[in-house]
Amino acid sequence: MSGRIAFIGVGNMGLGMAANQVKAGAQVSAFDLSPAALAKAVEAGCSAAGSVAQAVADADIVITMLPAGQHVRAVYAEQVLANAPKAALLIDCSTIDVDSARAVAAQAAAAGFRFADAPVSGGIMAADAGTLAFMVGCREQDFADIEAVLAPMARAVIRAGEAGAGQAAKICNNMLLGISMLGTCEAFALAEKLGLDGERFFEIASKSSGQCWSLTTYCPWPGPVPTAPSNRDYEGGFLTALMLKDLKLAQEAAAKAGATTPLGAQAEALYALFDGLGHGGRDFSAVLQLMRGRLDT
């Protein structure tokens, strides 16, 4: 589904996403507070708007890809809802707290708009390749249109439920991912101490009940999975700082909902420690080196 798209926030993720909408035939009007980010979007075929208000003024679709809840709340309350045509479909793809997603959805609905929270799984490479997985919180009757809009940027678009459900799915998934990566790293660190060869442990665990995505697709031990960031000195991939952000969101949501998530809390503490030691810019599987006591590598 192409048309006139206003794309707000063309940073690391938004740039590739906007470029894929251009490739699919949409007219994309981009806005970003960073002139450098906006210039890259223009190179990718977008037109540059001078403000959010200008970008959304004649949009059929508004897509936002912003850092956090406060940015999304401000952009919608102060600019999008006041300036976009009422028929425009509003989709926020940022990872934000569930309460902010629900608050923005309620404001949008009160103003007569259709709105979805649609955070993504997959990093910058998936954004560039158009292979993100979207988890969508929206009214059931709006989902088909939302799915069509997201298709050029997606390998999967799944409706999680009503407003906020996309963000809930995202933080539950990433809490599970953080915990499973720490468990995988701990097992490799223990295997090493016990004199077990890392590659041999991988071969056994990947065919045994310890098998999981963190082991077989994203192995923190360099060698067994050539595409994993562990083979590139943990460069790129999914940054520790972003994993920490998502674990914090999960803990905040758990506290508000009265859920007991002791492993999620432990994962947040360990990633906060790793980030505090100056490793926020490394892939999150680099936490293996903390457990091995080898932070110099």
Residues 124-143 that bind ligand NAD (CB under 6 A): 124
Nearest approach, Cβ of residue 73 and ligand NAD (Å) = 10
CB count in 10 Å sphere of residue 280: 18
Nearest approach, Cβ of residue 149 and ligand NAD (Å) = 17
Q: Does 120 bind ligand NAD (CB under 6 A)?
A: yes
Distance of alpha carbon 151 from the chain centroid: 17
Nearest approach, Cβ of residue 176 and ligand NAD (Å) = 15
Nearest approach, Cβ of residue 189 and ligand NAD (Å) = 26
Q: Does 98 bind ligand NAD (CB under 6 A)?
A: no
**Which residues make Cβ contacts (< 8 Å) with residue 68, sequence separation at least 6?**
94, 96, 245
Distance CA 118, CA 286 (A): 28
Selecting among 40, 86, 170, 248, the annotated active-site residue is 170
Q: Does 34 bind ligand NAD (CB under 6 A)?
A: yes
Nearest residue to 227 via CA among 187, 285, 184, 279:
285
Interacting stretch for ligand NAD, rule CB under 6 A, among 39-47, 62-70, 138-146, 158-166?
62-70
213 close to 207: Cβ distance less than 8 angstroms: no
Nearest approach, Cβ of residue 36 and ligand NAD (Å) = 8
88 close to 58: Cβ distance less than 8 angstroms: no
Size of the site for ligand NAD (CB under 6 A): 25
**Which residues make Cβ contacts (< 8 Å) with residue 262, sequence separation at least 6?**
none
Distance CA 17, CA 117 (A): 16
Per the listing, tokens 């190179």 go with: 43
286 close to 277: Cβ distance less than 8 angstroms: no
SS3 assignment, position 138: coil
Q: Rank residues 20 and 94 by Cβ distance to ligand NAD and give the closer one.
A: 94
Q: Rank residues 95 and 214 by Cβ distance to ligand NAD and give the closer one.
A: 95
Across-strand partners of 265? none
120-121 and 89-92 beta bridge pairing:
unpaired
Indicate if 86 belongs to the active site.
Answer: no
Q: Rank residues 114 and 170 by Cβ distance to ligand NAD and give the closer one.
A: 170
- Residue from 41, 66, 157, 163 touching ligand NAD (CB under 6 A): that is 66
Q: Does 254 bind ligand NAD (CB under 6 A)?
A: no
Phi, psi dihedral angles at 293 (to 5 degrees): 70, 30
Q: Does 285 bind ligand NAD (CB under 6 A)?
A: no
Q: Rank residues 102 and 245 by Cβ distance to ligand NAD and give the closer one.
A: 245
Q: Report in angstroms the alpha-carbon separations of 95 from 16, 241, 247, 252.
A: 17, 13, 11, 14
Q: Does 238 bind ligand NAD (CB under 6 A)?
A: yes
Q: Does 172 bind ligand NAD (CB under 6 A)?
A: no
Q: Does 241 bind ligand NAD (CB under 6 A)?
A: no
136 close to 163: Cβ distance less than 8 angstroms: no
Q: Does 31 bind ligand NAD (CB under 6 A)?
A: yes
First to last CA, the chain: 47
- Residue from 63, 80, 83, 123 touching ligand NAD (CB under 6 A): that is 123
What residues make contact with ligand NAD under the rule CB under 6 A?
Answer: 8-9, 11-14, 31-34, 37, 52, 65-67, 71, 75, 94-95, 120, 123-124, 238, 242, 245
Active site residues: 170
